[in-house]
Every structure is written in C-alpha cells, then in structure tokens.
Structure 1
Amino acid sequence: MKGATIAMLLMLWCGQTTPSLAAAFEGVITLKEIAGEETETRVFYFKGEKMRIDDGDTGFSVWDAKKKDGFFVDRDDQTYTTMSWAEMGVMDPKSILDDITVTKTGKNAKIAGYSCEGYLAKDKSDGSTSELCIAKGLSNAALFGILAADASAGGGYPAWFRDFLKEGGFPLRQIDYDEAGKEESRSEVTKIDAKRLDDRLFHPPAGFKKLELRK
C-alpha cells in the first residue's frame, strides 16, 4: 500500500493533545513484524503525552505531543538527534488516505489478552490490501496528536479514520497482501503490559552527544 499502510499511518504522526484521548493508555506494547525472511521486534512505550519506539538494539525514538518535537537515539554512535515536526517534513497522510477504503469484516479476535475488531483496507491505486484487527483504548496523544486534532474538527479525513482516532485505535495484527493476493508482510502484538512507566525512559541516555537535524 504505497509503502505506508493504515497501521503505519497510525504510528508515524504525532503532535498536539486532543481531549478525546485524555484517558490515555500507559504501558508497553511489543510488536513482532515479519517480511519475507526478516523478523523485527518493535516496542512501544506510552505515558501521558509521550511515546517511545524501540527498534531492536540500534536505538529508539521519543515523541512529545505537548512540545511537538522528538529525538532519535543512535546507540552505536552514542548520539541523539533532536527535531520538530516541521523539520521532519512528514508527508500529508490525506494524500494516502484518499486512495484507501476500509470496511469491517466481522472477524473479531483476542490478541495478547485484548479484543480487537477486524477490518479490510484496500488501496485503489495499486490493488493491494491489508487485514487489520484494531483494539480500542491503546494509544495516547503522542501517537495520534496532529491527525486526531485535525480529524476531530473534520479536517477532510474519512469517517472511518476519524473513528479510529476518536476511539484510540491500535492495530494488534496486520497482514499485507499485494495486488495478486500474495502475503507480503505481517505484524502482530505479542504482549501488552499496562503499568506505570519511569519518566527517564523518555529522556536521552546520559552522556550521549546531542545533534540537531540538518535538512
């Protein structure tokens, strides 16, 4: 799906706080991704208006919805790079959503102890599809900020996407297929741990050198 499926969209953009997500999830979500012979594990940390995403042993990123900025940590170089959303130059998600239709499948499931609702997403531009199972209430402002704020006011987003944002949807499972129906990749949450998190998880490691993004 244009290299960015529904679940990826839900994870890539963040910014300002929204009232609809006031009762945000706090805790850790572990996600396993498989594409061909490659397997990766991503770990999401949610606390208040902050979100952290760990990508294996190489590093992690942190996003702050209130400040509308974040940073990337490179463990190998022992550096962290700060940036705002303006500096990131994030693409407009509406241009992707315009080509995507989503319908409920009725195939609900329970994954990692949480119930989720089945959806089928179709990309009209290339014929690819994605099967998703979305759980409610597993998100925070940092995950949905910019999109949720815009979508809650209309913003030109489709109704199904506004519903995801309003209800704090998080994809517990996603299977991507090409236009011929062949599976390309899949991801599934393996563990959800609702608990209080230390604020230090959302700060750069002590002693790491600060860098600034240069476009």
Structure 2
Amino acid sequence: MKTFLRAGWMGVAAACATLSALAFEGRVSLAMKGEKGGEQVIDFVTKGDLVRMEPKAAEAAGTAMIMNGAKQEMTILMPRERMYMVMPMRGAPAQSGGSGESTAKIEKTGRTEKILGYDCDEYVVTDKGDSTAMWITEQLGSFMGLGTGNPMGGMMGGRKAKADGAAWEQLLKGKKGWFPLRVVSRDAHGKEKFHLEAKKIEPDTLPDDLFAPPAGFQKFAMPAMGGFGG
C-alpha cells in the first residue's frame, strides 16, 4: 500500500491540492492524458474550501483525498485498510509564483465555446516553443495547478516534475475565478503532449460528512512523507 500511495494516483491527485472552487458546489470529472497516453480520470467534489478527489482507476480501490483549504491540510482515505492519514499542504496557492521570472506569455484569442453548458474563453500560452490552448470558464471558481511542489507534478504534462508546474498552471494560479475545462499542450513541432478535458459537471448540495473520514476509520501516520503543495 505504501508503494501505491507514493508512486500511484496519489502523486497526481496531491498535485491538484490547490484546486479551489469558490462558488461552485458539486462534482467535476476531469480526464487527463500525457505524452505516453493512458487516460486518467479524477472526480473533484467541491464545497467551499473543501475538495474531495476521487480517482476512477480500478487500482485506486475507493481511495480518496480530501483537501481542506482553510486548515491547509489533506486527508487521505484508505478504505481497504479502514484507515486515513492527515498531512499538511505546505505553501498556499497565493504564495506561489516561482523563484525565477517566467518566460510564458498569455493571449486571449477572442474565440469562445460552450463546454458542458459553461461559457468558455480561449487563451493561448506560449513558452519556450511550447503552445497551450486553454478554454477557461469563470463559473466554477478557481483552479490553481496540477504540479505545485509535488515530485510527480509534471507527469501529466509530459515533462519532468518542477516545483511550480507547467507554464499554463503558473499563469492560472494568479487568476482568481478561472477554471479550465479543456487544456491542450503541444511542443514546437505541433505534437500533443498533454490533454485535459472536463467530462462531466454536476452541481449538487453536498453533505459535510463527505469531507471527513468515515466513522470507524483509524488515523495512520506515515513517516517522512512531508507536505504537498509547496
């Protein structure tokens, strides 16, 4: 189980720790695919400062992660063991920005599209030969990155892990209220290297206990894991 937590879906989900849906309450399903193929689908269940991430892969076996933005902590649920563990989210999104100057540029194209019923504007980010098209809605709260501070953060972007995530992620961190429903990154030769697409959006009124460990689960402390998110 330790190996799964360290190297499996948790790496990707933990990298999404900075997702914050400020107004939207409900469920968003995002499918992500990197250069090597192999689609991953993660459901984000959001309510205020709370986000519950549920990977849909069979090997996840019901494992989920709960992010508490107010407390800056994450709780990982392990149903097979009937256990959970809590660790800090180090480094709030607002503090992110990278240690060096970004070379990325963002441009609003003027094109619009309705994705799953939500109005989106297209933005294009260019950085060091790479080009990323993002379709952004302002109706689902804020999305602040897939790669911040996580050793596997760059995996889904088809690049090595980096502390601040991909260029498009860094730009989104400072845009309160922006949420991407589609992201397509291509290299200088036009080859697609990352694709993110919203598959389903379900507004709902959610119970508070969905964002807490179930009754009967025991707390487990894993040594030397550190915090995610910064």
Do Structure 1 and Structure 2 share a fold, with TM-score over 0.5?
yes
Corresponding residue for residue 174 of structure 1: 183
Corresponding residue for residue 33 of structure 1: 32
- Say which SS state the counterpart of residue 86 (structure 1) adopts: coil
Once the 2 structures are TM-superposed, how far is the Cα of residue 119 of structure 1 from its aligned partner?
Answer: 0.7
* Distance in structure 2 (CA, Å) of the matches to 1:134 and 1:93: 20
Corresponding residue for residue 53 of structure 2: 53
Deviations 1:116-145 (A, max 9, x none): 110111223xx22211101003126xx66x
> Any residues of structure 2 matched to 1:63-102 within 5 Å, and which?
63-86=67-90, 92-95=96-99, 98-102=102-106
TM-score (norm 2): 0.66
* Distance in structure 1 (CA, Å) of the matches to 2:101 and 2:112: 23
Corresponding residue for residue 227 of structure 2: none
Aligned in 2, Cα 1:13/1:164: closer, same or farther, shift over 3 Å? same
Once the 2 structures are TM-superposed, how far is the Cα of residue 68 of structure 1 from its aligned partner?
Answer: 1.4
Structure 2 stretches of 5 or more lacking a match?
Answer: 1-12, 145-170, 225-230
Deviations 1:89-119 (A, max 9, x none): xx94424772322111222111111011101
Aligned in 2, Cα 1:208/1:128: closer, same or farther, shift over 3 Å? farther
- Say which SS state the counterpart of residue 175 (structure 2) adopts: helix
Percent identity between the two aligned chains: 28
Number of residue equivalences: 178
TM-score (norm 1): 0.70
Over aligned residues, Cα RMSD in angstroms?
A: 3.0
* Distance in structure 1 (CA, Å) of the matches to 2:138 and 2:30: 16
- Say which SS state the counterpart of residue 140 (structure 2) adopts: coil
> Any residues of structure 2 matched to 1:61-210 within 5 Å, and which?
61-86=65-90, 92-95=96-99, 98-124=102-128, 127-139=129-141, 161=172, 164-165=175-176, 168-210=177-219
* Distance in structure 1 (CA, Å) of the matches to 2:100 and 2:83: 33
Once the 2 structures are TM-superposed, how far is the Cα of residue 163 of structure 1 from its aligned partner?
Answer: 6.3
- Say which SS state the counterpart of residue 200 (structure 1) adopts: helix
* Distance in structure 1 (CA, Å) of the matches to 2:173 and 2:97: 13
Q: Contact conserved, 2:72 with 2:90, CA < 8 A, in 1?
A: no
Corresponding residue for residue 165 of structure 2: none
* Distance in structure 2 (CA, Å) of the matches to 1:162 and 1:38: 26
* Distance in structure 2 (CA, Å) of the matches to 1:87 and 1:72: 18
More helix by share: 1
Q: Contact conserved, 1:31 with 1:188, CA < 8 A, in 2?
A: yes
